[in-house]
Amino acid sequence: MLDKELDDCIGQIYQQAIFNRHEFLTMEHLMLGLLKNSSVVNVLNDVDCDIPLLKSELLQHIEQHIDSLPDDIEVAPQPTTAFQRVMQRAIYSARSAEVPIVSGDRVLVAFFEEPEC
């Protein structure tokens, strides 16, 4: 089970993907959503991450590299395989640690375990 803040973040990126007419929820969408999560922001601040710059670069990447579907096609964004792997890894990690709720910082760790990150 996802904590409420993480669930809300994922819901927001899903709605944003619909608004932008994106076919897929990508790793970039996920990271953008995680930047709204307090536990993730705390971790990133601890390592002196320039969060505004990261957000700006993610938005630029999404705008330049992720195509929008035509207006006549119904949009129901699907998570990419990498997105799904990250979420599954975070859930498995929480279960292994006997933690009933998955938080954003656990997803962040799983994100960076993804080979292409």
Q: What is the pLDDT of residues 77-96, one digit of tens each?
A: 999 999 999 999 999 999 99
Percentage of the chain lying above the pLDDT 90 cut = 97
- Percent over 70 (pLDDT), the chain: 99
pTM (2 decimals)? Answer: 0.93
Number of H-type helices and E-type strands within the chain? 6, 2
Query: pLDDT-based confidence at 117, cuts 50/70/90?
Result: low
Dist CA 116 CA 10 (whole Å): 21
Q: Which two tokens stand for residue 78?
A: 């699907």
Q: How confident is the model at residue 114 (pLDDT cuts 50, 70, 90)?
A: very high
Structure tokens of 37?
């999560």
**Sign of the torsion formed by the C-alpha atoms of 98, 102, 105 and 111:** positive
Domains and CATH numbers, the chain: 4-112 (1.10.1780.10)
